[in-house]
Chain A
Amino acid sequence: MSVFGLGAAGTAALLVWGLAGLPSFGDFEGAYGQLLAHLTVPERHATSAVAVSTFDFRGLDTLGEEFILFTAAVGVLVLLRGQRADETVAAEPMHPRRPTADSRTLRSIATALAAPVLVLGAYVVSHGHLTPGGGFQGGVILMTAFLLVYLAGSHLHLAAIRPLSAMEGAEGVGAAGFALIGVGGIILAGAFLENFLGFGTTGNLVSGGVVPLLNVSVGIEVMGAILVIVGELLDQRFLVRKGDR
């Protein structure tokens, strides 16, 4: 404990020293961010400077980010599924029709919310270039809709609406879609991730060039990846050691 106290005091001193060198709060004068923000509407005909920075000006960065997520989902699969070699999945849980949640209220609310949440997720993904939101945020909301179905039903329902191979497929399609849109930029516009579509009218749903397409592919990928991760972790409940049977 005293070791930690000493280390923490040193770290705190270094942090204060470093942070004191930053411009004081509210006085940031970064020219790069302002340049991007002011190019967003005239050059890209989209209204969300964050989405345009993420998917257009810094698209390569986001490609890497997306593959981090992809790799992590694969890593979770490898870590948790390797275990299945010496354990068997209880294909039929002990009480196959037992609901996930015991509370009837919780199940009713989850049933009522699943469809609206799905629509909300689709909205957040498709309007990412106009308003706050986008593929990453919307993908997580879409994933929540599937988790609500899980809460409302039994484990078997989730297995039915979440066929693992389909989710892996969605993850792969999303990641590949992003890369392919980038390759489309090479073919049609001369540079990776270069915009090759018309920019449309500012404020319309179809505007901003490839940014909405990239948002959709990221949304699909995030939904698939997180469902794979969450599903694998939930499945751990149903793994039974061969010896324990």
Chain B
Amino acid sequence: MIEKALQGGKSYWTLIIILLAVIGVGFLAYLRQFAEGLTVTGLSRDVSWGLYIAQFTFLVGVAASAVMVVLPYYLHNYKLFGKLTVLGEFLAIAACIMCMTFIFVDMGQPFRIPNVFIYATPHSVMFWDTVAIGGYLFLNILISRVVLGSEHKGIAPPKWIKPFIIISIPWAISIHTVTAFLYSGLAARPFWMTAVMAPRFLASAFSSGPALLIILCLILRKYTKFDPGREPIQRLAVIVTYAMAINVFLILMEIFTAAYSGIPEHLDHFRYMFFGMEDAQGVMRTNLVPWMWTSSILAVISLVLLLVPKFRAREGLLALACITVFFSLWIDKGMGMIVTGFTPNPVHTVTPYAPTLIESLITLAVWGMGALIVTLLYKVALTMRKEVEPVRYRD
């Protein structure tokens, strides 16, 4: 199966080499971080999670979003998604591996990570998150391998795989719910302690993930013989539209609650995000302000493009809508969510955070690694599909 990834044209290999170069540079940056410690990052005593954990949080959503193609296909017999399910599962695999890598590079003592299992601690949400994401990765590897293998042989997938597919659906919901619980269960951080956190995570996941899948499909159609067809992409676009609308709705709920109640320890986080706040020395800190307004404007643009059926139907505009959704949420759910949770800090002072070059190179490398995994896996899937017409599995 995997050997299919080793055959490709010039552009394929160029892409692989570029991605390997990005990974290589980031790996060198990581060696530096490993030697000197996390002091090479912009993290501090006050803002102790940053770019890495932001990427982790965002990518758990991308991983979970595979369910948006798996569920209609397997539960509702929505056959048009047949060509997309494996792509969704492969995207989930890449996203899970990226999540784990971001956790790894964020750890102070990465080689002690086995302690999470040696001293398994059920009262820690982090333990459950590890179990959830690890399990989800396993499920997606298993399901995609078995289904694709059967497809290749021109037979229906074995019956025993069906329970795994069914369980992967609630499991996808669980990975992002548990990831939200990492934050929403902390009394120390009023910005995170909201019951809306998990629903919001799911809404943002089900918009940003399928948006990414649409972008990937459009790229594949342009550069390969793969064509998912117009209808499945339009269906995905509807999913992105609903999810993004719900996501923005939930964000507005958060803002209303904080603003109307006027409780300073809630409201100050939003003030810091959108307007900036003075630090202990009286210097105005506005690190997040341009980012958050960019995210908000992108969200509005995306909603206009998505909600008007005429716009959404045009694939050029749909691509633009998906790009705006993706970047809007990448900012909002990543850096916006994580850094704001720490600012102001528990003694109500503001410490600015900005990622360093090393931190950014490592982050880029992990994204490069994800892109490489997606490229290789998609290559395998498409090569196999070219050989055999896909068999629609449904009993």
Do the two chains belong together in a single complex?
A: no
Q: Which residues of A contact B (CB under 8 A)?
A: none
